[in-house]
């Protein structure tokens, strides 16, 4: 008996995956095996544990400039690649090379100073489920009884950023979860305290929701565990 919420279609299209590691971001180009409204099944050269968040660009077009939308998804399962897919060589042409020419097939533009997987053939099937929006009454921290207190509404938007404490030159690469006119929320591998001042640089300035200075000053207003992983969600308020 089929228990899936959405119908699957067998389609082979390129996908770009981005994920955070303690040493920076990594990017991989993959191909789908099948797709649905709720997620993707794709061939990958990287193994990921269930529940790990990945940022997905689908379909990915290497000929377009940076700024293609990225959607947060979570790993449902990671298993052995089916024999028919292995025989077709899916994923071989989707390996990527750091800093390569955008005109060569199977290569990815250098983006957000990311670490990029290189020449790794597809060895596993990766099932992803797109993550839906957070319920507005939850105020972003899972407490559904806590009413919304923001002066400006927020919108889901995933873009790469660089974050550093105000007096420390070393930044971390992170991904935003949502934006408003006055603040943002991002997923971090570091620890930050409420009231701490941060400097945030938006990697893709042409597509960023905030314009003006190259590096913004913001104050941490809330820190909460990131669901399903050893990381934190950091909410900041932009300095006026």
Buried b (16+ CB within 10 A) or exposed e, 33-47: bbbbebbbbbbbbbe
Per-residue confidence (pLDDT) for residue 206, from 0 to 100 = 57
pLDDT over 60 at 123, yes or no: yes
Per-residue confidence (pLDDT) for residue 22, from 0 to 100 = 74
d(CA 132, CA 87): 34
The answer to the question of residue 9 being in a domain is no
The answer to the question of residue 3 being in a domain is no
Residues 99 and 149 in one domain: no
* Location of structure tokens 């949502």: 178
Q: Provide the token pair at 206.
A: 């042409």
Residues 202 and 122 in one domain: no
Per-residue confidence (pLDDT) for residue 37, from 0 to 100 = 87
User: In the chain, pLDDT over 70 holds for what percent of residues?
Assistant: 67
Look at residues 89, 110, 130 and tell me which one is the last residue of a structural domain: 130
The answer to the question of residue 189 being in a domain is yes
Which CATH number belongs to the domain containing residue 201 in this structure? Answer: 2.40.10.220
Handedness of CA 27, 31, 35, 37 (dihedral sign): positive
Per-residue confidence (pLDDT) for residue 221, from 0 to 100 = 95
Residues 39 and 74 in one domain: yes
157 Cβ contact list (under 8 Å, min separation 6): 176, 178, 179, 209
pLDDT over 90 at 220, yes or no: yes
Domain interval for residue 149: 136-238
pLDDT over 70 at 195, yes or no: yes
Confidence of residue 78 (pLDDT cuts 50, 70, 90): very high
Residues 110 and 163 in one domain: no
Confidence of residue 227 (pLDDT cuts 50, 70, 90): low
The answer to the question of residue 5 being in a domain is no
Look at residues 130, 146, 166 and tell me which one is the last residue of a structural domain: 130
The answer to the question of residue 4 being in a domain is no
The answer to the question of residue 184 being in a domain is yes
Residues 195 and 228 in one domain: yes
For the chain, report the end-to-end CA distance as a whole number of angstroms.
56
pLDDT over 60 at 172, yes or no: yes
The answer to the question of residue 1 being in a domain is no
pLDDT over 90 at 210, yes or no: no
Look at residues 107, 130, 153 and tell me which one is the last residue of a structural domain: 130
Q: Following CA atoms 167, 191, 23, 238 in sequence, which dihedral angle do they give, to the nearest 10 degrees?
A: -60
pLDDT over 80 at 167, yes or no: yes
d(CA 133, CA 136): 8
Confidence of residue 146 (pLDDT cuts 50, 70, 90): very low
The answer to the question of residue 24 being in a domain is yes
Q: Provide the token pair at 3.
A: 């228990």
Neighbours of 204 (CB within 10 A): 15
Residue 13 CA: distances (Å) to CA of 41, 62, 69, 89, 185: 11, 12, 16, 14, 30
Residues 224 and 145 in one domain: yes
Q: What is the pTM of this model?
A: 0.65
Residues 155 and 124 in one domain: no
What's the number of domains the chain is made of? 2
For range 44-68, the mean pLDDT: 86
For range 54-60, the mean pLDDT: 91
| Residues recorded for the chain | 240
Residues 123 and 140 in one domain: no
d(CA 94, CA 122): 9
Confidence of residue 97 (pLDDT cuts 50, 70, 90): very low
Which of 30-34, 103-107, 148-152, 174-178 is the least confident region?
103-107
pLDDT over 60 at 211, yes or no: yes
Question: Pick from 209, 81, 108: which is nearest to 152 by CA?
Answer: 209
Residues 38 and 94 in one domain: yes
Residue 172 CA: distances (Å) to CA of 22, 38, 92, 186: 9, 30, 31, 12
Residues 117 and 179 in one domain: no
Better-predicted residue by pLDDT, 18 or 116: 18
């Amino acid at each position: 008996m089929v228990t899936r919420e959405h119908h699957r279609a067998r389609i082979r299209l390129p996908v770009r995956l981005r994920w955070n590691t303690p040493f920076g971001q990594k990017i991989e180009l993959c191909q789908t095996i099948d797709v649905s409204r709720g997620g993707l099944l794709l061939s990958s050269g990287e193994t990921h544990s269930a529940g790990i968040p990945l940022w997905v660009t689908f379909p990915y077009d290497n000929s377009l400039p940076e700024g293609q939308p990225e959607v947060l998804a979570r790993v449902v399962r990671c298993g052995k690649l089916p024999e028919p897919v292995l025989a077709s060589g899916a994923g071989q042409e989707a390996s990527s090379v750091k800093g390569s020419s955008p005109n060569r097939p199977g290569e990815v533009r250098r983006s957000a100073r990311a670490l990029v997987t290189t020449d790794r053939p597809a060895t596993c099937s990766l099932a992803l489920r797109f993550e839906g929006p957070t319920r507005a009454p939850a105020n972003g921290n899972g407490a559904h009884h806590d009413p919304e207190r923001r002066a400006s509404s927020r919108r889901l938007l995933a873009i790469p950023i660089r974050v550093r404490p105000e007096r420390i030159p070393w930044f971390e690469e992170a991904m935003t979860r949502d934006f408003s006119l006055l603040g943002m929320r991002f997923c971090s591998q570091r620890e930050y305290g409420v009231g701490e001042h941060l400097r945030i640089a938006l990697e893709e300035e042409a597509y960023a929701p905030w314009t003006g200075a190259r590096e913004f000053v913001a104050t941490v207003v809330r820190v909460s565990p990131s669901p399903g992983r050893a990381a934190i969600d950091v909410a900041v308020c932009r300095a006026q």
